[in-house]
Structures are given as structure tokens and as C-alpha cells.
Structure 1
Amino acid sequence: MAPRTTNGKKKKSIFKRILKWGAISFILLLAALILIPVFYKDKILQLVIKEANKQLTAELSISDFDLTIIKTFPKLTMELNEVKLAGKDDFEGVELVNLKALEAKLDFWSVIGGDQIEIESIKLIEPHVNVKVLQDGRANYDIVKPDSLKTEEEISEPSSFKLALKSYEIRNGEISYLDKPGNMSAVIANLNHSGNGDLTAETVNFETKTTADAITFIMDGVPYLAQVKTDAIVNLLMEFGEKSSKFTLKENEITLNAFKTSYDGYFEMFDDYYDMDLKLDASRSTFKELISLIPSVFRTGYESMLTKGSFALNGMVKGKMTDTELPAWDFNLNVDNASFRYPDLPSGFEKITIRANTKREQGANLDNIKVDIDKFHTEFIGNTIDANLKLRTPMSDPNIGLNLLAKVDLASLEKVMPVAEGESYNGKLDADLKLAGKMSSIDNEQYEDFNAEGWLILKDVLYNSPDLGKEVSVESMHFSFNPKNLALEEMQAKMGNSDFAMKGTIDNYLGYALRDETLTGSFDFKSSMLDLDEIMGLSSSDEESSTASTETATEPAASGSSEDAAGSIPDNIDFNLNTAVAKIKYDGMEIDNFRGNVKLKESVASLNDVQMNTMGGTVGMKGSFDTKNPEKPHINLGYDLKDLDIKQLADNFLTVEKLAPIAKYAQGKISTSLSMEGDMTKDLDINLESLTGSGNFFTNKITVSGFEPLTKLANELKIPKLSSQTLDNVRASFEFEDGKMFVKPFNLKLGKITSDIEGWTSFTTDIDYKMKMNVPKDQVPAEMIKVVEQAIGKVNNVVPQLNVKGLPDIIPVNVNVGGTVMKPVIKTNFKESLMEATGNLKDQVKDLVEDKIEEVKDTVTKVIKDKVEDVKEDLIEQKNKIMADAQKQADKIKAEAKKQADVIRAEADKQAKALVDGAKNPIEKKLREKSAEELRKQADDKAGKLETEAAKQADKIMAEAKARADKLN
């Protein structure tokens, strides 16, 4: 029995040990799963920041960082929350990327012991990407540091991370793209995309899925895709070799709205060229599904449309693409006897026929591109549109054949296509155009070899829209075509209170259309009334409506849209416009007899001999508006204003108010000539700091009242009459630069007081003027005269021999006017001038009687000292007030900073306590206590910096106040 008992105990002991060590191992493993992320979290975060700083010039910010292994064991999961990449310099404040979260799965052993951390998958959650390319080609995505900006260590040091991707995913992304040089933009809304495949292998079966709620692409103002819903499955066989990388399309299908396409073939990349053989197949789509891509149709609901007819679309691209060659292509579109109609409308488009092809052969010669639209035809309610086009040798010498025939009753449009509620069309469109020949015939002025004939006529057109609120009426508009030009024979139109009449010619219209050459034209424009307030009000409501629609549709602000149009003139437009308008209403002003010439050429608008009557006088203008750089348009303008109402001028033009703030408080007529040059913003606001120029000013009579500097001057000199003045025959000249208008010395008579004035006014309303005033004795306040005469009487009593006379008829006074227009600071030597006006009594006494000098000196000194003490007391009072005000401001800044600092510390302490209290076990509590302490420390540092900065500001305020007080000495 004993041995059996022993063996039983031994077995029991082994079992216990297995349980014991198993439990210990489990606890250790659990502890490792908890602690390993803690140990490596800071290390990986620092590596992320280091790698970003090494590679990027953008500002990286990460709101939160986490590392875990429990959910994805044996992979480590790194999560970066609220990741932002913001631009610098011209892209300051523009976020290239704003990510809600970035998740990456890391190879466990590469984190524990490797030199590089391997990233096996990446997930981008709700990325918002905002790409911008400026007019000069600089792009905000160009954020990778060039080697010239890297240190030698950054260049030689390998990356801390190695991509070993097996998969990636984009979830709920938003992408916007604006390319100003390319004049195109795009928006992708709610993008979801994923890719799977071992990208580290030499041969990869790569599978991708893509969906997007709305894709919009606009180029040159034309929406090629508008809110297109996209669903794509694209599978690739990717073969990475030493000499090339080949991508072969396998199962794939791309659906745009309802239009389905698939592709077949391959694309191979060599070091110095590409090779491809790709085919497009849209045989599974119908004519109805093709229509779903038309923006205006899609927005009104293609799903319910009634359609019929056959449709075929196919194409191929085959051959090599090098720096000098392009591959061959051949695309065909055929639509036969098709129709479509909206179910709730009485009629639709019938007998639609389209036969189109474009092809070229492999090679460098782009002249072998051929475009053929053999037939385009449709009919609706008795209207017909027929067209065909052939284009050959488009690069060297475009050879075009175009025929267009259209007869349309505009009133019938609402019967075949939806129109907005309250919108209506009336009138006739008649077009019959034939073009045939080579551009070289026109270039060589051999017009007989080029056939261009026909017309485009609009007659009795009426257009109503609730967006406009006013009916647009085109009585007639007649274009005629010939080889040399496109002639606008006549145009008679009305809108609201405004009427328009114009005629002229447009030259080189074919060169503009086919080769992007300069379009030239000359027009005469006449009107008896232009109500710009009404027109711009309508445009504004349109723009707001368009903006609302755009925001709803998540469409981009395309190049060529209002964002750019406000400040951009095309560089290939050369127009000459002669204008004569009897009356214009603009921003509350009435302008009569507007006439002059406007020239548009090479992105510059030139004004020549523009004349108008307004604001009670006449205005002449000349100069230019240069938009070669639409981000910073440049103006160079000259004005000649005669007998204008000064208050109207200040009320209507912000620049005048900035240049001469006194104008707002004046009444009367002025004349001025000025020239100015400077930059504008892209929104056409003048950059006042950039303005330079000069001019002169004249008025026979203006009345000024309520102008604070004059009011303060009147109070300082104790001469109330100065606060309101009628100024006669004022003439001055000025110039401006560095954000200031400098007034050259000029003479001004304020009542009976003549003054010489010079100084400057800044565009931020700071002022600094010096005045030399000659004040007549009868303008000096009686109480001041009494004090001075009493002092003179005392002198004469003590030294009768001096016989000091009274004040002279004129007392010179120096005045400094500083501060701002609304808060001027006036300093004068008026009191000193009054005391000095009788001469130097001390020297007179010394010359008269040497033996009584001490007695006379004491007497005179006492009289003068009494007045000096008065001045000193005033100075001391001013000093004390300056220091007291400064101390009050400094104390307020410190108190506010302390209040904010206390809030920061309290909030951090609250968060720290909540962090610790949320711990579920002692280990977690210990870890959280460390984080809580760090949270308190960061808050204390931030609060301390706030208090330190406030103390610096307070010290600076006190130092500046002391400096101002010391200057009063």
C-alpha cells in the first residue's frame, strides 16, 4: 500500500505543478500582452514623429496615440487619432490631410528586436484630403524634403519603418482637388477603397474594391462627371521583374451611375517607356445607362426615363508610350434610332443617331489623329438638330469640316425636359453653319480657299426664372460667319431696368477653338440705362443659389468659376470695347454719360479716356488692371475728379476714407488729381499696404465738423471755434507709400488762425501731423490773457524802468497731433508761447540796472516760476495718469492669465483623477497614475507659460508707459 500511496502523491504533485506553472504562464502572458504595448508605445510614437520630421516639410499633429496587441494578437496594432498634415508658407492654414484615425498592423518581432518596424496593413478612417495646385505650379502635396534640406544623418539613416503590406483600406474618405494651371477640379465624396495581396512578393494577385457616393470632375468649366456614383472591382496580376513591372487586368467591372464598363489587357512599365494593350467594352450597358452620365439628365432622375434604341461603345489603346511617342487608339460610339422621354412630360427626344470615331496610329506624329462625327441627329416636337464634323491634321494645319443645322422653338423645351418651377423659355433659335478648309488658308489670308458661311440667330427670346426675378428679353441677336471673322450684326436686349445694344466682330475664332490662339474682337456697346445694383443683386442671388446647389452636390469650386473669375482675365483674349451709357445706377450712386474705351489684352484690362458725371461733378479715369497673377492682381490707375461732393465720395469709396479720413466729416465740393499703383487680393480688395502714388487736392470751400482731431485741438487751445471750420481755397499735394499718406507742407486758415501743416495718415488711421500756428491775440481765451497781463503788471511794478508792454498781436504756437483719427493725442507749447511772447525779461533787467539785478531777477523768476509750476503740476498729473492706466491694464492681464491658468490646472486635475479612478486593477492604476502625473505636469507647464507670458506683457506695458511719461519732461 505504501508504494501505491507514494505514486498517487507524486502524480498529484505533478498535476498541481502543471496547473501552477500554467497559471503562472497565463498570468505572465496576460501581463506581457498588457505591458508590451506600454513599454513600446512611446518608442514607436517617437519613431513616427522622427520619421515624419525627417521626410516631410509639413506640420504633423497627432491628437492621440494607442498601441495594443490583445485584439490582433500576434500582430501589434498602432492607432493614430486625429492626424493632420498642414501646409506652410503660401499654404499656411491649409490642411492637406485630416484623418480621424490611422490604424496600422505591425509585425510583432520587428517591434521587439528588429532595426526596422514592418507595417503589414494600413487602414485610413475618414480621411479628408485637400489638394491644391497654385497658378505657378506649386502644390500643397509637395511636402517631401529634398536632400538639400536634410542633414547628412537623415540622408544616410534608413527609414525606421518598412512596408510589408498585405492589405490596405480607405474608409469614408473625402478628396477635393483644385488645379489652377490645368483649369480643372475634382471632388470624391464618401470614398471606400480596399486592396488585398502580398505586395512584397514578385508576383501579386491584387484585388481591389472601390465605391464612392459622388465623383465630380470639371475641366475648363465643363462638368465631365457630376455627382457620379461609382462602384468598381478591379483585379490585377502584378509581376515585378528586374527590367519591367507588368499589370494585367483580370476580372474587373467599373460602374458609373448605371453605366457599366469592363477592361481587358495589360500595362507594362519599363525604365524608359510604357507598353500597353487595353480594350474597353461597354456591351453590357444600354442607351439609358449612357444617358445617366449626362449631368443635367442624372440630376432629374434617369431611373424613370423611357428609352429605346441600340447603343454600342468600344475602344482600344495599343502600343508604346515614350517621351516622344504615343500609342495607337481607336474608339467608336454608335447610337441608332434612339429616344428618351421623361414619364411625366408630354414628349421627348426622338430619332437620336450618333456615329462617332476617333483613331490614330502608333508614333510620334500627333497629326495622324482623326476625329469623325459622321452624324448627330435628333428631333423633338417639330424641332431638328443636325451636325457632323471631320477633323484632320489637328496639330500642324487643322483641316476641319463642320455642318450644323438647328431650328428650335425654345418654348417647346419645357415639354421635353424638366425645367425649374417658374422657369420659362420663349423665342426662336435658327442656326445654319458650314465650315470647310484648312487653317493655313486663313493664316495666309487666302479666304477664298476656306468656306465659312452661315448664321446663328436668336429672335424674340424671353427667359423667366425665379432666381433672376426679372425677365430677360433678347429682341434680336444675329451672328454671321465668314472665313475672316464672326460678326455680331446686332444685339438688342433688356433685363429689368437695363437695356443693351451691341455690335462688332470676333476674329480668329477658328484659331481660338482649334489651336487655343488669341481671340480678337472689337465691339461697340450702348445703353440708355444700366441698373448695376439690380443686375449684381440678381447675380448675387444666382451665386448664392449656385453655391447652395454646389454644396449640396459636393461639387468643387472649379477653375474658371467665381473664385477665379473675379480677378482673372484670359491671356488669349484681345478685345476692344467702346462704351457709351447714358445712365448707370451702382451702389446707390447715379452715374451719367459714361463713355470710354476698355481694352482686354494678355490678361490686362486697360482703361482709356473713361469719363463720367457723378456725385455732382465729373470723373476722368485711365490706367490698367493686370491679372497675369490672378492671386495678386495689379492696378495702375489715374483719376481726375472735378467738383465732386466730398461726403458722397467718402461714403462710396473705402479707399478715399482710408486716404483722407477727414472727408467723412466734411461737406462741400473738391477737385483732385491722383495716380496710384498697387496690388489687390484675388477677391479684388485693394492691398492698402502696397499702394504707392501721389496727387493734389483743391477746394474753394468745405465745412468740417465732428472731426475728432479738430475737436481735441480746440479743447487743448481753449478755442472752441476751432472744432467746426469753414475752409476756403485749400490747396495741398500728397503722396503715399508704406501704408501711409504723406501730406506735403501747405497753408491752412482756421478762422483767423493761419497754420502751416505737414505730416501723415496711415491706412490703419494712425496720424502724425505738425502744425505751426499763428494765433491772433484776440483768439486767445480771456482767462489766459488775464493771467499773462497780471504777470506783466507785477514785473512793471517791480521794475518800472522796463515798461513791459502787453502781448503781441500774433503768438506762434507749435502743435503735434498724434494717436489715431478717433483717439487723437494733442501736444502744444501754447502756455510757454504765451509766457515767452513778451521777450526775455531777465536779460532786459540785467542790462538796465546791475545793482538791482538780484531783486528784479527774484521777482521776475517768481512770476515765471509760478507759471512753470502750473505746467509742471499738469505734467505730473499726466505722468501719474499714464502710469496708473498702465498699471490697471497690466494687473488686468495678469489676473486674466491667472484665471485661465487656474482653469487649466483644475481641468487637468479633474481629468487625472478620472483617469486614475477608472482603473480596474492595481497594475492599471499604477500605469494610469503615471499618465495622470504627466497630465498634471503638462497642464502646469502650460499654465506657467501662460502666466509668464502675461507677466512679460504686463512688464512691457509698464515699460512703455514709463517711456511715454519720461518724454513729457
Structure 2
Amino acid sequence: MKKFLKRLAIILVIFIVVLVGAVAVIASLFEDKVGQQITRELNKQLKSELVIQDFGLTVIRSFPNVAANLKGVVLKDTRGGALLEAQELSFRFGLMSLFSSKIKVRSVVISDGALNIEVDRQGNPNYNIFKESEEAPEEGGSSTAVALELARLRNIELIYADQSTRQEMAALVNDATFSGEFSAEKFSLKSEADITSRFADLDGIRYLPGKKISYDASILVNLEEGSYDIEEAVLNVEDNAFKVDGTIESWESGTYFDLFASGDDGNLEGVLALLPEQYAKSLQDFSSSGKFVFNALVKGQYNERQNPELRVEFGLQDGRLSSPRLDNPLKDVSFNAVFTNGKFRDNSSSVFTLESFKGYFNRELVEMRLEVANFDEPVIDFSLDGVAPLESVYGLLGNPKITGGSGEVEIKQLHLKGAYKDMIDPGRISRVEASGALEFDDAALSIKDEEILFDRGELRLEGNRMAVEGLRIEGAGSDISFMGSAYNILPVFFADSLNSQDVELLFDASLVAKSLDIDRLMKFSTLTEEEEQAPEEVKDSLKVAVVQKRQTVTSFLKGSFNADVEAFNYNLIEGNNFKGKLEFDNNIMGIRGEVTAFNGQLLLDGKTYFQDEPHLEAKLTCKAIDVTEFFRQSENFGQDVLQSQNLKGKLDALIAIYAYWDEEGNFDMDKLRVLAGVAIKNGELRDFGMLESFSSFVKIKDLERINFVDVQNYLEIRKQRLYLPAMFIRSNALNLTVSGEHTFGNEIEYNIKVNAGQVLAERFKRYDPSLKPKPAKRSGTFNLYYAILGTIDDYNIVSSKRRVKSDFEQSEIRKREIQRGLEQAFGAVQLLDEPEEWKDNSEYNPGQEEYLDFDMEGGG
């Protein structure tokens, strides 16, 4: 028996192989004939052009049927464009049709292509490509009969645009089947589809972006009456199932709908997926659990003049609302929501109502109500009351730098009522009813490893005014209190990114700080650690976004803070008792005030312009600043040659600063310009290594501590260079005039004039421990000229009278330019001239170089 079965199996396999092979051979023999018949028959039915690149018959994939495969198909529309493009259009028919005089097509499969349907403004479609019935050939004369029972679409891009109704849709039909006796006047249509929606734009509003849609439907079709009776249908949107039943009828005056949809096992995601993108975007990551009910009704005629009645109801009972932005879900949630297009069945009479919303955050009740009427010109009625624990809701603030929260914010009877157009217009905001308050109770946010505590305080909304009372913020080394009032909160809140309404947040407030750690607070605006690890191009775009966001925020601000800061620090810089005012005028922030710093007083008057490429203009007046502290707290200005321990004295200065940043927020050193008039009183230079080169003609002890009398000069920083015009220095070691340039790369070019006669005379005197400065006398003296060239670490000292005197002359021009710039900023600026006793001896021959007989070599 086993041997018999084995032989039978072998015989059957051989038979099937021979049969399939024979059929394949037969198909190849009939290939040209069938291809010509199908192509000829299709062209008889069409008014437009059909282009086919290739044709083939196969039975292997479609056995026991034969597949006639048209390759590279392009079907033109009525306008000469492509109505259908497909890599393959396959007709299926019975194997015995090959031996018949008439091929009977039973099914068609369209694969890997696009279907483009267009309707112009006059309502003319591009798919009217079939000949009228009197034009079409009679069935008896045709060699191909089409009696479709199955149509299938695979991987087809569907594009639909109707200019007459302002509707546009795009979707990818992954797989769709349609089965029925399509040649009959009445038949039952069964259809299944798996679709990925690209978008659906209706009257300029976008729906279903990137949504997964599928359905399984059974429909009674009556082509004679133009009716479609949905016997049973299940529509799935983002894994939410809706049962649909009802009828659709085609009338002469339009299309009549009588449809009902329901869902008993759905959730919030399904409803959000059906909402317009602009409304659903902020809630798209929310999900629900619990008893969710959905019902929808569409009833009435649709044509150019009217819409059907539309009513949607959904609600949740004993549920939860969750989101990745909520650390804890909102529990015991219940609400009812209703949308209706109202009496006139259009946007003007449409109303959405969210009633009886309540839920619990950590056993704290939250209640809400919302009504939006007239979708053409929305009127909003919104109420919110409850407690929001920051531990749960900090993610809703939408800032990735905020990583945690604690404490509570109590929302007290917040209520808004009015037209949306009034809420966004400062000139109409008085028509809006607004009230309520936010009260902080040890509410804290974790921001970039810092905890910011809103210790106490209240924000109270009174119409268009928001009062800030007793708001105290602690954290990041700071303790700040705010009081004041602001206007136009709602117009600013609802303003678009371009601020097209030119809204201004008007405010008048006071800021009192016991401490202010500026550099720790500034870190809040820098990139996060994860963002810093991103590729450079991504980091650059993030930096640009930070600058643009700062620009957007400051564009709304118009008002002032009276500031009183007890103590502040920025890096090593420390200040006390700042009293002044911060003023905002759109994208400009001005600051004026006085502060104790560097053991002296500073007067500050500056403006920062928050634009695409921000810049700063500031005036700084320094009074009796301790030079040692100035250098120490300024970290020696980034150089290690002249440091805080080398200097002593009191500094008075007038400084004008012009600083620039690029669009990514990077400081632009090339554009930095600083003008300064400085004066140092009772100055002392200690252990300055560069002066050791002068030890051959100045006592080494004199060089260890150099006391000099009052010195005043102008300075300029431009294009990463410090320019020092010629100035006279009178000290205990020697008297000299010096000028020069010092680049930010520590390249130097200093020019020095020395009183040689006085130096020679002092060589024979004893060391003077009193460190009294030398008198500025010329009697019996002559002057020598030296240039120090190179870098801080490798320089040379050369004798060059012409070079030095030329630089002194040029520096006088620069000095006058700096003086004019300072006078424009500060008014009159007084100079200290070189003493008359220190002028060049007119008897000296200027054309001859003069040298001291000492070996002068550079350091390093």
C-alpha cells in the first residue's frame, strides 16, 4: 500500500508539472493574439490615449486562470495628462477562453502606480474618457467581453483634487478589493481596503494627516436608481473601530446621505484622528481608557447650496487620560462632548460643547467646561478650576529643558468668554470677560539640573489686566521677588509667530532680588546635553531657534522693571546694591543703573537689540575701581602676561561697548568695538616679567615695584586688536611715553620713548625705597626710542626713532578719533597731556638714530 501511494504521488506531481508546462506553452502561443485583442478592445471603449510598453501572458501566478499583464501602462485623461499610471495592469480570465473566439475578462488587478482625479472650477472631471453608449461597439462584434467580478488595487497613490468644492485628498492604497456582479444593474458589493491617508483638505482645513485607515463593507448597489444601501460596514481609523450603516442616494439636485456611525469600544485617539489637524495637533499624544462612547449622524442633501445635518457625540466615563507629557494620568475622568453644524448646517451655526469635564490629579479635582460657537468667527466660553500638581503636568509646558516638578499650582475659577477676534486684538480686548487666578504653593520646576521654586505668589486676571502679587522665585543661586501689572496677556497668548496684530505686552513692575546668579540663570537658554551631542548642522539650527525664540518673546515686551538687587555675580564678577531700571520696547532692552563692584562704583547705560543677529550698545562709567579686583574678577581678560597680582591702583574710566552676535548666538569677536578713556591713580606695577629686559639700565629693585603717578589715556578695541595711543608714564623706575597694538592672539607692537639722560643719572644713585616717581625734567637730557616686536612669549626690542615717532604721530590721530567717539557717547572728556618738561629737545638731530650702550634682547 505504501509503495502504491508513493507511486501515485509521483505520477500526480509529474502530471501537474506537465499540465502547468503545457498551459505555459499554450499561453505563449496565444500571447500575441490575446494582447492584440485586449488592446484593440480597450481602445474601442476609450476617447483618450492608452500607452502600453509591454504585454505578457502568464498562468503560473494566476492558475487556473490566465493573466494578461499590461506593463508600463499610462492612461491619458481628458486634458492630456495622466489619469492612471501603473507598472502593471492585469486582466484575469478562464483558461478555456484561449480556445474561444471571445475572451471573457472576469477580474482586473492594478499594481504599483498612481490614480489622479481632478475636477476643475466648473465641475468638469478629467476622468470622462469612455465613449458614449451609441459610440461604443455592439457586444456581438467584440472579441473581448468584460464581465468583471473582482477588481483589486495594490500600492496605488490616489490623488483627488476638486477645485469646485475646495477639496483635495491624497492617500496610499496599500491593498483594496471590490467584488460583485459589476455587469448587473443591482448587485451586492463587498469591499475591503487598507489605506494610509496622506491628508484630506476640506475648505482649507486639513484632516487625517498620516492616518491609517481600513474598512470592511457590504453594500447593496442599485445603479438604476443610484442608491447605495450599507448593509454592514466597519471603519477603522488608527485602530479605532466604528460601525457604519445607512444609505447614500444620488438625486438630480445632489447627493442624499442618511448615515449613522457608532463605537462602543473606542477611545479618545479615534476622535482626535478625525479632528482637523490644527485642533488635534496639541492633543494628538493623548490616549484614554475607560468606557468611551461615540455616535455620529449625517443626514440630508449635499450640493453646492446646502450641507447635510452633522451631529457628533462622544464621552468618557470612569476613565483615564494619559500622555507621554503627563508623569501621572488624570484619573476618574468623565465628560460629554457634542458637535453640531446647527440650524444653518454651516460653520456659522456650528457649535462644539465640552460639558461636565472632571478628573483627579493625585486626588486633586480638576473641572472644566468649553463651548465654541460660530466656526467662521469663533466665540469661546471657557472655565477651568482645580489644582495642578507640577509633578504630573510639567511636561505640558512643552520645554524639554524642564525635567521635573513638585508642589502645586491652584487654578482659581479661571473664566474666559468672548469672540476670538476680540481676544487677539488689543483694541477690542475690553469686550472679553476674563477673570480668575493662579496661586503658587511651593511649586518647583527642575530645569537643567537646577530647581526653581515658586515659593509663593499669585497671578490674578482682571479683564485685560494681570496683577502679579508677591511672586517669589528661588533657585539657581537667586532669590527674586516680582510685583506689578501687565496688560494684553490674552492677545499675546493667542498671537501668531509673526505677531501680525503688532501686539504689545504692556507692563510696569518691580524686581527685588536678594541674590542673582546671572551665569547659572543664563544656562537655562543654552542647549541641553543631548542637544550638544547632535551633529554640528543640527546644533546650529537649534542655536538659531533659541535666538529666534528670544527675538519672538522680546518683540511683545513694552514696559519697565524697577530693579533693586542686593547682590549678584557673573562668573567671578561680584556686585552689590544695583539700583536701576530695565526697559523693554519691542526687540530692544535698555538697562540703566548704578552698582557697587570691584570695590568701586559703576554706572551702566546700555541697550540690547534682540534681532536675527543681536547686538549691544553700552556705556559704562567706572569710579574708583580697584584695578587688582578688576583684573582678578575679569579673569585677567583671558591672558596670562599682565595679571591681577601685577597691578594696583584706582581706575576711573568711560567705556563705550559695541558688541555683536551671529544668528546662532555666537559672539562675533571681529565686530567687537570698545572705546575707552581710562585714568589710573596711585598706580603700582609689581613683578612684571616683561620689564626685566630693561634691567641693564634700570635698577632691578626699581623694576620689582614700579609706582607711577596719575595716568590717563584712550584705548580702542577693533577687529581683535587693542590699540594704545601714546601716553606719558611717570614712575619711580623711569619716565617714558608708550604706544602700541596688542592682538587677541598675543602679537605685540609697542613703541617707547625713554628719557636717556635721566636714566643714566639714576644709575649712579642709591636705590630709593620710598619708590617716589622721577621728576619729569628735560634739562640736560635727551630721548631714546625703542620698539618691542613679536609675541608675548617671543619678542625683540629694537631701537628705531623714525618708527616710534611715526607711530606716536599716528596714535595722536587715533586718540582724537577715540575722543570724538567717547564725546558722542558721554559728552566732554578731559585729557592729560605729556608734560612740557618731557617734550623732545629741539636741538636734537631727528634724522640720526640714538642708542644706549646696553645689550637689549627680547624675552623667550
* Counterpart in the other structure of 1:627: 610
Equivalent positions of 1:851-890 (< 5 A) are: none
Displacement after TM superposition at 1:165 (Å): 10
Return the alpha-carbon distance in structure 2 between the equivalents of residues 645 and 808 of structure 1. Answer: 36
Return the alpha-carbon distance in structure 1 between the equivalents of residues 172 and 598 of structure 2. Answer: 74
Compared with structure 1, are the counterparts of its residues 266 and 590 closer, same or farther at alpha carbon in structure 2 (3 Å cutoff)?
Answer: closer
* Counterpart in the other structure of 1:151: none
Q: Does 1:487 align with 2:437?
A: no
Equivalent positions of 1:340-379 (< 5 A) are: 340=320, 349-353=331-335, 355=337, 372-375=352-355, 377-379=357-359
Compared with structure 1, are the counterparts of its residues 717 and 239 closer, same or farther at alpha carbon in structure 2 (3 Å cutoff)?
Answer: same
Deviation by residue 1:869-908 (Cα, 9 ceiling, x = unmatched): 999xx99x99xxxxxx9xxxxxxxxxxxxxxxxxxxxxxx
Return the alpha-carbon distance in structure 1 between the equivalents of residues 359 and 504 of structure 2. Answer: 36
2:407 paired residue among 401, 422, 426: 426
* Counterpart in the other structure of 1:335: 315
Return the alpha-carbon distance in structure 2 between the equivalents of residues 265 and 297 of structure 1. Answer: 19
* Counterpart in the other structure of 1:596: 580
| Structure 2 unpaired stretches of 5+ | 1-71, 74-84, 89-109, 119-153, 177-192, 214-234, 241-265, 274-279, 395-400, 497-502, 765-777, 805-839
* Counterpart in the other structure of 1:764: 745
Equivalent positions of 1:686-765 (< 5 A) are: 686-712=667-693, 714=694, 720=700, 721-722=702-703, 724-751=705-732, 753-765=734-746
Give yes or no for contact 1:442–1:483 (8 Å, CA) kept in 2: no
Give yes or no for contact 1:722–1:750 (8 Å, CA) kept in 2: no
| Structure 1 unpaired stretches of 5+ | 1-118, 121-163, 168-194, 204-232, 255-259, 321-326, 415-419, 784-806, 842-863, 879-884, 886-969
SS at match of 1:528: strand
Equivalent positions of 1:511-550 (< 5 A) are: 511-516=491-496, 517-532=503-518, 539=524, 544=528, 547=531
* Counterpart in the other structure of 2:157: 236
Give yes or no for contact 1:402–1:435 (8 Å, CA) kept in 2: yes
Deviation by residue 1:479-515 (Cα, 9 ceiling, x = unmatched): 2222231111331343375322111112112222334
Compared with structure 1, are the counterparts of its residues 340 and 598 closer, same or farther at alpha carbon in structure 2 (3 Å cutoff)?
Answer: same
Give yes or no for contact 1:485–1:505 (8 Å, CA) kept in 2: yes
* Counterpart in the other structure of 1:813: 784
* Counterpart in the other structure of 1:892: none
Displacement after TM superposition at 1:581 (Å): 1.3
SS at match of 2:490: helix
1:386 paired residue among 359, 367, 372: 367
Displacement after TM superposition at 1:673 (Å): 0.9
Give yes or no for contact 1:491–1:502 (8 Å, CA) kept in 2: yes
Larger % of helix: which?
1
Give yes or no for contact 1:376–1:388 (8 Å, CA) kept in 2: yes
SS at match of 2:491: helix
Compared with structure 1, are the counterparts of its residues 706 and 291 closer, same or farther at alpha carbon in structure 2 (3 Å cutoff)?
Answer: farther
Displacement after TM superposition at 1:732 (Å): 0.8
Displacement after TM superposition at 1:655 (Å): 9.3
Give, as a single letter, the amino acid of the residue that structure 1 aligns with 2:157.
Answer: L
1:582 paired residue among 550, 553, 566: 566
SS at match of 1:197: strand
Compared with structure 1, are the counterparts of its residues 239 and 490 closer, same or farther at alpha carbon in structure 2 (3 Å cutoff)?
Answer: closer
Give, as a single letter, the amino acid of the residue that structure 2 aligns with 1:486.
Answer: M
Displacement after TM superposition at 1:704 (Å): 2.2
Give, as a single letter, the amino acid of the residue that structure 1 aligns with 2:562.
Answer: N
Compared with structure 1, are the counterparts of its residues 252 and 378 closer, same or farther at alpha carbon in structure 2 (3 Å cutoff)?
Answer: farther
SS at match of 1:689: helix
Return the alpha-carbon distance in structure 2 between the equivalents of residues 278 and 341 of structure 1. Answer: 22
Return the alpha-carbon distance in structure 1 between the equivalents of residues 618 and 757 of structure 2. Answer: 43
TM-score normalized with structure 2 length: 0.53
* Counterpart in the other structure of 1:827: 798
Equivalent positions of 1:137-152 (< 5 A) are: none
Give yes or no for contact 1:291–1:298 (8 Å, CA) kept in 2: no
Displacement after TM superposition at 1:811 (Å): 3.2
SS at match of 1:758: strand
Return the alpha-carbon distance in structure 2 between the equivalents of residues 428 and 266 of structure 1. Answer: 39
Give, as a single letter, the amino acid of the residue that structure 1 aligns with 2:479.
Answer: D
SS at match of 1:751: coil
Compared with structure 1, are the counterparts of its residues 730 and 429 closer, same or farther at alpha carbon in structure 2 (3 Å cutoff)?
Answer: same
* Counterpart in the other structure of 2:599: 616
Return the alpha-carbon distance in structure 2 between the equivalents of residues 265 and 747 of structure 1. Answer: 77
Give yes or no for contact 1:649–1:656 (8 Å, CA) kept in 2: no
Give the stretch that moved more between structures: 774-783 or 620-629: 774-783
Give, as a single letter, the amino acid of the residue that structure 2 aligns with 1:589.
Answer: I
Q: Does 1:310 align with 2:293?
A: yes
Aligned length: 574
Compared with structure 1, are the counterparts of its residues 308 and 660 closer, same or farther at alpha carbon in structure 2 (3 Å cutoff)?
Answer: farther
Give, as a single letter, the amino acid of the residue that structure 2 aligns with 1:612.
Answer: V
Give, as a single letter, the amino acid of the residue that structure 2 aligns with 1:621.
Answer: L
Return the alpha-carbon distance in structure 2 between the equivalents of residues 767 and 266 of structure 1. Answer: 65
Return the alpha-carbon distance in structure 2 between the equivalents of residues 509 and 572 of structure 1. Answer: 10
2:651 paired residue among 670, 673, 680: 670
Q: Does 1:197 align with 2:178?
A: no
Give yes or no for contact 1:708–1:822 (8 Å, CA) kept in 2: no
Return the alpha-carbon distance in structure 2 between the equivalents of residues 445 and 200 of structure 1. Answer: 50
2:483 paired residue among 473, 493, 503: 503
Displacement after TM superposition at 1:265 (Å): 11
Give, as a single letter, the amino acid of the residue that structure 2 aligns with 1:349.
Answer: K
Equivalent positions of 1:147-186 (< 5 A) are: none
Compared with structure 1, are the counterparts of its residues 482 and 753 closer, same or farther at alpha carbon in structure 2 (3 Å cutoff)?
Answer: same
* Counterpart in the other structure of 1:949: none
Q: Does 1:644 align with 2:630?
A: no
Identical aligned pairs, as a percentage?
13
Alignment RMSD (CA, Å) = 6.3
Return the alpha-carbon distance in structure 1 between the equivalents of residues 309 and 699 of structure 2. Answer: 90
Return the alpha-carbon distance in structure 2 between the equivalents of residues 265 and 740 of structure 1. Answer: 58
Give yes or no for contact 1:566–1:684 (8 Å, CA) kept in 2: no
SS at match of 1:810: coil
SS at match of 1:686: coil
SS at match of 1:478: strand
1:776 paired residue among 743, 757, 767: 757
Give, as a single letter, the amino acid of the residue that structure 2 aligns with 1:334.
Answer: F
Return the alpha-carbon distance in structure 2 between the equivalents of residues 781 and 328 of structure 1. Answer: 109
Displacement after TM superposition at 1:354 (Å): 5.5
Compared with structure 1, are the counterparts of its residues 779 and 649 closer, same or farther at alpha carbon in structure 2 (3 Å cutoff)?
Answer: same
Displacement after TM superposition at 1:432 (Å): 0.8
Compared with structure 1, are the counterparts of its residues 392 and 521 closer, same or farther at alpha carbon in structure 2 (3 Å cutoff)?
Answer: farther
* Counterpart in the other structure of 2:253: none
TM-score normalized with structure 1 length: 0.48
Deviation by residue 1:222-254 (Cα, 9 ceiling, x = unmatched): xxxxxxxxxxx974246999x999976474599
Give yes or no for contact 1:389–1:401 (8 Å, CA) kept in 2: yes
Compared with structure 1, are the counterparts of its residues 743 and 379 closer, same or farther at alpha carbon in structure 2 (3 Å cutoff)?
Answer: same
